[in-house]
Chain A
Amino acid sequence: MTYRFAVNGEEVSLEVPGMRRLLDALREDLGLTGTKEGCGEGECGACSVLVDGEVVDSCLVPVSQVEGTSVMTVEGLAPAGGMDGLQQAFLERGGAQCGICTPGMLMAARAYIDSGGAPVDEDIREAIAGNLCRCTGYTKIIEAIAVAARGSADAR
């Protein structure tokens, strides 16, 4: 089967089995290795991407279910070579250590901010509850998301 969908704004057409995990299609077929595989069973959120603006674990989504949708990965957050406000905030606040959770964390945060999420600690914690980080203790990640959410609210 041929599956057509958009990835980071560009139309793609993939000739792959429909049960291929979106995660594998992104990494192996499209070479977008920013999306990481952690647990492979929906526990850790490392493979989080957006499908039509909603955050999902790409290890749990078969390609057949993204036909006709718009997928955004960490590579799509900012133009080549640049950073968006959220990435800048992670950099400035020290929101990343080893980095494996970071792409997924950024995508969950992006979904939160895009849906109008406020710079409120408790709400941010819930928004990233599906993303495990074993280094930072979360505090700096939450601060970074609050900074970006504040910036986004100011921009609106």
Chain B
Amino acid sequence: MAPITMIEGIRQAMFEEMDRDPAVVAIGEDIGVYGGAFKATEGLLSKFGRERVIETPISETAIVGAACGMGFLGLRPVAEMQFIDFIACCFNQVTNFVAKSHYLWGAPVPMVIRGPSGGGVHGGPFHSANPEMYFVHTPGLKVVYPSTPSDAKGLLKSAIRDNNPVLFFEHKFLYRRIKEEVPEGDYLVPIGKAIVRRAGDDLTIISYAAMAHTAMEAAEKLAIEGIEAEVIDLRTLLPLDRETILNSVKKTNKLLIVHEDTRTGGIAGEIAAIVCEGAFEDLDGPITRVTALDTPVPYAPTLEERFLPNTEKVVAAARELSKY
């Protein structure tokens, strides 16, 4: 098979799942005639028609609410946020109603909310967010954040088939920058499983989404210096794959966590706590973080560059850590 981009992987997942199951419908703004702001749903309307590709007014609360209601009748709606930043508009619907339904009154909500997230494309403070931790902190949701075309496709297909509400973050920097051959057939990637992207013995670097690539680049540079880093791509943030994290740290004894989300309350803190609880005796150095600054995402390239983690920052932190 020819290599495909991440956006194409997402598009294929939508096509295949809608083809496979008429209970799957798409709902969102500009997702039909226009094919979505990033063309993730291009071609869906002509194949599946207006009943299944539902174009809405600019109403995130209504989109998520309606998708939830459809889920109650056994449909599997996939709701698009035009930019994931706008999920803040329907925060109540997601966190108070959708997320709590199963726990409180036994009502499963089989729906997906997907949308483009992340910075590095000069989108400015309202089109670059990484709001995943608001939702990682919300019991009842699953939060997925892939870094490759294959994972994007396989995880989105799994998300659509999941009986729980899944938030599916798509890093827009990766949409068209990387290509990869995607396994043929009905390719599924399980939710809740991290993957070791690179094996190494000297330290563990944990990351996800665009920063998973940054971590890999840093690991290659570190290898030249004789530091062998093991790189873990989380892929799913909730539920978190504790086992893969702990196994790696027990092997390398050092942990560096890299994320594009802001620092305070980012998932690095949670992972650090998990490692302290489960592998404290194995640690030979301080758990280290490379993250975005605790600021909104600034617009100017010089400012955004300062805001975001990059390979150099990761390499520098890894060097320091490896001295222990």
Specify whether A and B are partners.
Answer: no
Which residues of A are interface residues toward B (Cβ below 8 A)?
Answer: none
